[in-house]
Amino acid sequence: MIFNADGIPFIDDFDAVTDPKYGRGRVERDFAQVPRGSLPGGRSAHPMLSIAEIREIIEEKDRTKTRTMDLCDAAGVPIMDQGYTNFCWCYAPVKGMAIQRMKQGEPYVELSPESMAGPISNYANANGSPVGVGGYGIQALTFAVGDGPCSRRLWAKHRIARSMNTAEVQADRKNYRGAEFYDLGYDNLQGLYSCVALGMPVALGVNAWRHEILVIDLMIDPRTGDICGIFDNSYGAHWGTKGRGVIRPSLMRGDGVVIATMTGGSSSPSQTTGQPMAA
């Protein structure tokens, strides 16, 4: 296995790095049924930087250690662990929301992916009953804009029970709603690069893996010159290096969504005012 300068492994064989106890509940989005930018809170216009600009930002953040992973490590942000739930398609977007909220000046609060995945799936696990229940990232962010997740303290980890959705949980949701998100669509690699370079993690549903990951930073492969993604996985701290891996551009094919802003807090350093936008 090949590692980057931070000791994070390049992931080239998805099956080889997937623990059998972790399911793959992510399903492919049907763009004919759910067109890009068609859901509440979603914008098809998103920041678009040139590849040269993206490379400059990568080098600067690496030099100054101002990457998202540096911020998360300094703040003690925990590694995601979806356990048996098969809710990767909520774990990745919800962690992205928590990170974006922190970047807007709020203290880090761990949010509950299950508090969104439960109601979305009618409290059924992807490999449980009924068989075949699954989802994808934009479903999670649409729910996040309308209802929001609750904080982890109010929803037990890996619980999918309707009884968890108490009145206190429903009141807490309003504190953590998303304001808007970017719908990058399918295979929009330069859009993904642009958002991540500007400090906005991208929840990426990787079709070849049937799994949703959170791309938090970029790196340049010194051997090939390719721009690769550094991602947080949801398989626990034992996976990869402290729960992280590196994905090559050839494997980053899938559906990307980005939480652009959260309700409350001050302006984020990753706000896109003045940035060129692409439809």
Query: Looking at the domain assignment, is residue 257 inside a domain?
Result: yes
Separation between Cα atoms, residue 144 and residue 174, nearest integer Å: 10
Residue 270 has pLDDT above 60, yes or no: no
Residue 21 has pLDDT above 80, yes or no: no
Query: Looking at the domain assignment, is residue 21 inside a domain?
Result: yes
Q: Which two tokens stand for residue 207?
A: 């079709």
Q: How confident is the model at residue 17 (pLDDT cuts 50, 70, 90)?
A: confident
Please report, as a single letter, which amino acid is at residue 236.
G
Mean pLDDT of 214-240: 96
- What pLDDT was estimated at residue 273? 45
Query: How many domains does the chain fold into?
Result: 1
Separation between Cα atoms, residue 258 and residue 162, nearest integer Å: 28
Residue 116 has pLDDT above 60, yes or no: yes
133-148 pLDDT, tens digit per residue, is 678 999 999 999 999 9
The answer to whether 87 and 113 have CB atoms below 8 angstroms apart is: yes
64-103 pLDDT, tens digit per residue, is 999 999 999 999 999 999 988 889 999 999 999 999 999 9
Mean pLDDT of 174-183: 93
Whole-model pTM? 0.92
CA atoms within 13 A on the CB side of 240: 31
- What pLDDT was estimated at residue 78? 94
Separation between Cα atoms, residue 187 and residue 206, nearest integer Å: 10
Residue 129 has pLDDT above 60, yes or no: no
Query: Looking at the domain assignment, is residue 68 inside a domain?
Result: yes
Q: Which has the minimum average pLDDT: 13-22, 160-169, 208-217, 227-236?
A: 13-22
The answer to whether 199 and 178 have CB atoms below 8 angstroms apart is: no
30-75 pLDDT, tens digit per residue, is 899 999 988 888 888 899 999 999 999 999 999 999 999 999 999 9
Q: How confident is the model at residue 26 (pLDDT cuts 50, 70, 90)?
A: confident
Domain that includes residue 55, residue range: 15-262
Residue 266 has pLDDT above 70, yes or no: no
Query: Looking at the domain assignment, is residue 5 inside a domain?
Result: no
Separation between Cα atoms, residue 197 and residue 241, nearest integer Å: 22
Query: Looking at the domain assignment, is residue 6 inside a domain?
Result: no
Backbone angles phi, psi at 120, to 5 degrees: -60, -40
Q: How confident is the model at residue 271 (pLDDT cuts 50, 70, 90)?
A: very low
Q: Is 12 exposed, middle or buried (0-12, 13-18, 19+ CB in 10 A)?
A: middle
Q: Is 29 exposed, middle or buried (0-12, 13-18, 19+ CB in 10 A)?
A: buried
- We report the CATH number of the domain holding residue 88 as 3.90.70.10
DSSP H helices in the chain: 51-64, 68-75, 88-103, 114-120, 137-146, 167-173, 189-197
Query: Looking at the domain assignment, is residue 149 inside a domain?
Result: yes
